[in-house]
């Protein structure tokens, strides 16, 4: 029998009041001689990173703090140079940009890393995919490494901006759109579907869709959201690609990014899910109603972009992921069709 080997975290801690336990968790996993580099940004440093460093010192453990300013390849090199040689483990404490830099640096120096998310705006909290900017400011999705473990303090995440929590829901539910595109690609003979990755991605999304509570301020719902985002990351690791969680709606989001959108990734893929579902002749109104209930934007105006920019992004979306087959490639999306679908759904 042929079996696969899949990297998954050794530990997952999701609960209230976990931040104080980070040093003890690291010690139990990596020993008292562990040399830690804590990667964060200015906002998280002010909020809790220095407190974490002091907690390490209080336990007699070594921890160095390194602040980055953005999710760039240059920041990855900065962390790599800091960690090379004497470090044992990297900790990434913050949002998606911090975690993406940390996971890529960890992959380059072949060190384990621990994810300590302070926001849950997308599934990058526990995934092998890093979105990083090159020297021209162009974002690209690159293969990195899965975290050795994850420590998510619900008290900290509950205090994060409500917009980021809503965006996390948007990114998680967009799995359903991505899977529909994966089915389409398979039906057209373009791709094979990984059944287990498909199952995880689908179950993760449905956990919040079918939840009786649909409120990002509720602790039970927030825990379900975190669990779902973790499962999405593992689905990508199993598939060896972001395919279980990324379809035409993500291409649309990447195109918006290239046009300078200021909206969050999860907000953009939520709108992309509505548009792609309409094109697949699915029940797009159910998505729109759900996103409105959560508090996500469902229009171009809600994203803070103009109608022309949204149409441009939808038209250019397939360029962002050459070789990926979604409903947008299937129909050969053009400006005319983009305007029609955006108008028909009320997105513009």
* pLDDT digit string, tens, across residues 73-90: 999 999 999 888 788 899
Closest CA to 237 of 110, 130, 99: 130
Task: Report pLDDT for 245.
Answer: 96
- State the burial class of residue 145 (Cβ atoms within 10 Å of its Cβ: 0-12, 13-18, 19+): buried
- How many CB atoms are located within 10 Å of the residue 93 CB? 27
Q: Please write the tens of the pLDDT for every residue from 240-272.
A: 999 999 999 999 999 999 998 989 999 999 999
**Tokens (6 digits) for 155:** 């008290």
**Is residue 1 scored above 70 in pLDDT?**
no
Same domain assignment for residues 131 and 269: no
CB 54 within 8 A of CB 82: no
Tokens 């397939």 belong to residue: 318
Question: How far is it, in rounded angstroms, from Cα 276 to Cα 238?
Answer: 25
Burial readout 116-144 (b: 16 or more C-beta within 10 A, e: otherwise): bbbbbbbbbbbbbbbbbbeeeeebebbeb
Q: Average pLDDT of the chain?
A: 93
Domain count, the chain: 2
Same domain assignment for residues 195 and 123: no
**Is residue 20 scored above 90 in pLDDT?**
no
Residue 1 lies inside a defined structural domain of this protein: no
Closest CA to 254 of 99, 167, 132: 132
Q: Among 158, 184, 202, where does a domain finish?
A: 158
- How many CB atoms are located within 10 Å of the residue 82 CB? 17
CATH code: domain of residue 248:
1.20.1090.10
- How many CB atoms are located within 10 Å of the residue 96 CB? 26
- Provide the residue range defining the domain that includes 54: 11-158
Q: Which segment of 42-56, 175-189, 235-249 scores lowest on mean pLDDT?
A: 42-56
Residue 3 lies inside a defined structural domain of this protein: no
Task: Report pLDDT for 295.
Answer: 97
Give the DSSP H/E element, type plus range, for residue 236.
helix 219-239
Residue 55 lies inside a defined structural domain of this protein: yes
């Amino acid at each position: 029998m042929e079996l696969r080997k899949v990297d998954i975290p050794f530990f997952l801690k999701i609960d209230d009041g976990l931040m104080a336990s980070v040093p003890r968790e690291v010690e139990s996993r990596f020993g008292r001689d562990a040399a830690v580099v804590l990667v964060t940004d200015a906002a998280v440093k002010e909020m809790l990173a220095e407190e974490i460093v002091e907690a390490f010192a209080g336990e007699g453990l070594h921890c160095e703090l390194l602040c980055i300013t953005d999710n760039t390849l240059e920041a990855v090199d900065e962390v790599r140079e800091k960690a090379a040689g004497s470090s044992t483990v990297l900790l990434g404490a913050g949002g998606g940009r911090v975690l993406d830099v940390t996971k890529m640096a960890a992959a380059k120096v072949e060190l384990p890393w621990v994810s300590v998310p302070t926001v849950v705006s997308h599934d990058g909290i526990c995934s092998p995919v890093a979105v990083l900017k090159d020297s021209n400011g162009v974002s690209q999705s690159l293969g990195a490494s899965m975290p050795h473990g994850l420590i998510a303090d619900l008290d900290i995440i509950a205090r994060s901006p409500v917009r980021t929590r809503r965006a996390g829901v948007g990114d998680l539910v967009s799995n359903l759109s991505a899977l529909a595109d994966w089915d389409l690609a398979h039906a057209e003979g373009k791709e094979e579907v990984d059944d287990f990755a498909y199952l995880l991605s689908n179950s993760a999304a449905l956990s919040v869709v079918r939840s009786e509570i649909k409120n990002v301020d509720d602790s039970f719902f927030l825990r379900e959201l975190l669990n779902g985002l973790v499962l999405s990351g593992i689905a990508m690791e199993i598939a060896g690609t972001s395919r279980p969680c990324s379809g035409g709606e993500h291409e649309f989001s990447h195109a918006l990014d290239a046009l300078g959108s200021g909206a969050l990734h999860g907000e953009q893929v939520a709108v992309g899910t509505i548009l792609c579902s309409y094109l697949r002749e699915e029940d797009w109104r159910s998505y729109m109603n759900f996103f409105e209930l959560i508090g996500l934007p469902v229009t171009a105006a809600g994203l803070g972009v103009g109608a022309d920019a949204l149409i441009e992004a939808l038209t250019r979306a397939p360029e962002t992921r050459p070789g990926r087959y979604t409903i947008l490639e299937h129909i050969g999306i053009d400006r005319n069709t983009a305007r029609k679908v955006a108008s028909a759904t009320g997105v513009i």
